[in-house]
Amino acid sequence: MNTLDFIFKRLIKAALVVLGVVILNFLLVHMAPGDPASVMAGEAGAGDAQFLAQLRAQFGLDQPLYVQLWLYLKGILSLDLGFSYRNNISVASLIWDRLPATLLLTASAFVFSLVLGVLLGVMAAARRGRLTDTAIMSGALFFYATPLFWVSLMSILLFSIFLDWLPPFGMETVGAGLVGGARALDVLKHLILPVVTLGLFFTAIYTRLTRAAMLEVASLDFVKTARAKGVPAKQITRRHILRNALLPIFTFASIQAGQIVGGAVLTETVFAWPGIGRLMFDALLQRDYPVLLGVFFVTSVMVVFVNLLADLLYRVIDPRIEVKS
């Protein structure tokens, strides 16, 4: 199949997936108990029926659910994600302000976990059955089984409170007025703990996956032939074993790129990182439906785009794979 035809069909499928996700999220959010009017009326100390009715009419919550859904879908098609009840600002502007922080955190955690996980997996496979292999796999099992929130809290206690090496919260020092390289260094210091704690779980998976894939490839005939010809061990590991073991790693990496946004919700909450994960958590507590649905829409588009990109990159990773619908 022609690559352009493949991309076109994938885009059609992606659009249908996003549409299904948008409708499902809308219905699930509106099925939850409570609504923004009830929350805002309770905070204002005026919970009478007339005031609630006025709020619901103001936000369009008094209309039938199918009408609200239709209006929301029309807005999505014009890239209008609605207006935030609580922040008095358009949802698109609110998400756009928070999105760079989340992309910085998730991209850094993704690269950190992928590079470190593959490196540790290669080391464990090269020293199979030795102390290094045992230590690496034990550490990978520990971080795989340990809850993310516990690692986050313990890292704050150790590196921020006891050792005072790294800042515990936020994206940069408030009120410091730093610019240029000084500000970049300050953001980097604040970034270390969230990136490491978010990436350790996936690092453990990459380590185990890389080790298993390399040991499987190492037992194949072409690797034995290379050894029999006297090819250096490092070259065999790099050009023959690792290169052929990358496909399952790449497959999981494409899945992780979407999952890591969900993990960012907890990480951003613990470390007070000003991203869309924390924004989504706050919107859920405040019943700010437009913000919640806007974040769901943006993250679903990101996941679909990453998976589409992964499908295209498969041919680069392994030329033997043909493009099929």
**Domain range list for the chain:** 103-278
Determine the length of the chain: 325
Identify any residues that bridge with 83 across adjacent strands, giving them in sequence order.
Answer: 90
CA distance 119 to 114: 8
Q: Model pTM?
A: 0.78
- pLDDT at residue number 325: 46
Amino acid at 273: W
Alpha-carbon dihedral 5, 308, 119, 146, rounded to 10 degrees: -160
Which class for 48: exposed (0-12), middle (13-18), buried (19 or more C-beta within 10 A)? exposed
Domain 103-278, CATH among 1.10.3720.10, 3.40.50.720, 1.20.1730.10, 3.40.50.1100:
1.10.3720.10
CA distance 277 to 269: 8
Which DSSP string corresponds to 208-271? HHHHHHHHHHHTSHHHHHHHHTT--HHHIIIIIIIHHHHHHHHHHHHHHHHHHHHHHHHHHHHT
CA 258 to chain centre: 5
- pLDDT at residue number 46: 54
List Cα–Cα distances, 317 to 174, 245, 247, in angstroms.
Answer: 44, 10, 7
CA distance 106 to 92: 20
Task: Report how far apart the first and last C-alpha atoms of the chain are (Å, whole number).
Answer: 8
CA 186-192-195 angle, to 5 degrees, is 130
CA distance 221 to 226: 9
Q: Quick one: tokens of 242?
A: 């690792």
What is the residue-level pLDDT of the chain in tens, covering all 325 positions?
566 777 778 888 888 888 888 888 888 877 766 666 666 655 555 556 666 666 667 666 667 777 878 888 888 888 778 777 777 788 888 888 888 888 888 888 888 988 898 889 888 888 888 888 889 888 888 888 888 788 888 888 888 888 888 888 877 777 767 777 888 888 888 888 888 888 888 888 888 888 888 888 777 777 778 777 777 777 777 777 777 777 788 777 877 776 676 667 778 888 888 888 888 877 877 777 788 888 888 888 888 887 777 777 776 666 666 545 4
